[in-house]
Amino acid sequence: MTKAVARYTKFSDASKTIRVAYVPGVPTAEANYNGDLRFGSDRAYMSERTAMHEISHTLGVGQTAAFKTKCAAGDWKTALPLLRSFDDASAVISCGGSHFWPYGLNYDTEWSETNADRHVKMVQAMLKDGM
């Protein structure tokens, strides 16, 4: 959590009170827009990548009506140009369930230092877009 919060602090101006708890019955990890973030007993999910992914949920990714509306319409005035600056002019933000990609850090295979920085920058842009 310390590394994840530090990275969010470095690349975002988001402000949120997050309550972190260990709850053995949680299969992996989970978070809610209300600020609750829970890790289960599987230590494989107690990572910076998982913490960052779950922090994004506390900020609204997959949790708000605005996120879902913007995903359905592809209406990302800030986030989409940012993504295209990372990748190429044809890049699109995809959404499914309560996640986005690329840079949603949905799986361990997506982890890299660059992708972690881009994840925070994408969430920050989505917040600017009114997520």
Domain ranges of the chain: 2-128
pLDDT digits over 40-80, tens only? 999 989 999 999 999 999 999 999 999 999 999 999 999 99
pTM (two decimals): 0.96
pLDDT value of residue 52: 98
At 13, the pLDDT band (50, 70, 90 cuts) reads very high
> Taking phi first (over 0 means left), then psi (-120 to 50 degrees means alpha), and beta for anything else, what does residue 107 get?
beta
- Average pLDDT (126-131) is 97
pLDDT confidence bin for 95, thresholds 50/70/90: very high
**79-86 and 113-128 helices cross at what angle (nearest 10)?**
160
What pLDDT score does 61 carry?
A: 98
pLDDT for 126 equals 98
Helix, strand and coil content of the chain, in percent to the nearest 5, comes to: 45, 15, 40
